[in-house]
Amino acid sequence: MHLENEIFQYSGNVPIHYQVGGNGPKPLIFLHGFAASHTTWHDIIPFFPADSFRIFLLDMKGFGLSAKPRDGAYSIEEQAVMVRSFIRGMGFSSVILIGHSLGGGVVLRACLQMQDEKDHFAILKLVLIDCAAYPQRLPKFFRRLKIPVLGPLLFRLIPVRVMLRRAMEMVFYDTSAITRERFERYERYFRGRGLAYTLRATIRCINPEIYASIGEQYRRISVPALIIWGEEDRVIKLKYGLRLHEDLPRSQLKILAKCGHNPHEERPSETFAAMEAFFAAEVD
């Protein structure tokens, strides 16, 4: 599927980059995870028939090729408002939202916001891949990024390739999946100007108190959801996927054995097969 680069102006002055492809009737909006970009979806997109779907790969605010304003506004709530603004700006009456890791958390928050504020569009289905849905202890490196002096210093002292290699070894269960092409895909945007600020600002915006009773809120989401999880995820453990399946009343869970945090990259054909069946099925 051929993808074109486009820009959406969020709040009038924050350019949000996205790629678009396909000419089908069903709009699918994809949201990447923390420290990633639109390119994280490039392994799975070729499986989608161009005549069935209209694909939108968003770079969330501060990531990829999107603007990185130093405004400190990088919470999950802010990203969800941006996504809803994008949907309204594109004039969609209905969409399917797909989110990985942090992007999955944004998808869930967008659903809750939509229900509370009565948006004039419908979210038909959700796909949540190794979703950041609950408060949990961050890896040591990311906790250190929050420290005012030490955080920026880490990005100056530790070579990008070393940081990225360690991160990818944590993300992928099968380390042979860390191909040169995939490594360079991540490195291209990991070196991006302003990303260090975005990562620190995003981590500082995570407030565990807000999510203390988040499961109760998720139980209000009536949208059918497919939860996909890598059984060997070391970033967000499978127990959180099982909990999310319990909290979302209209969810189904697909667990991929011998797979890590990024099933859409490590096992794209199986991930697509689960999504294809979910899109085709009538959900009660």
Query: pLDDT tens-digit profile of 2-44?
Result: 999 999 999 889 999 999 999 999 999 999 999 899 999 999 9
Residue 103, pLDDT above cutoff 80: yes
The per-residue pLDDT for range 235-259, each reduced to its tens digit, is 999 999 999 999 999 999 999 999 9
CA distance 132 to 253: 15
Least confident of 73-87, 126-140, 247-261: 126-140
Residue 53: phi and psi, rounded to 5, are -130, 155
- Please, what is the average pLDDT of the chain? 89
Q: Which residue segment(s) compose the domain that 140 sits in?
A: 4-280
Determine the average pLDDT of the residues in 140-159. 60
Domain with 142 in it: what CATH number? Answer: 3.40.50.1820
Number of domains in the chain: 1
The per-residue pLDDT for range 156-178, each reduced to its tens digit, is 656 677 878 888 899 999 999 99
Determine the average pLDDT of the residues in 210-226. 87
The secondary structure of residue 147, as a DSSP letter, is: S
Q: Given pLDDT bands bounded at 50, 70 and 90, which one contains residue 262? A: very high
Cβ neighbours of residue 6 under 8 Å, at least 6 residues apart?
17, 18, 19, 20
Amino acid of residue 122: A
Report the side by side order of strands in the sheet with 4-10. 4-10, 14-21, 53-58, 26-31, 94-100, 122-129, 225-230, 251-256
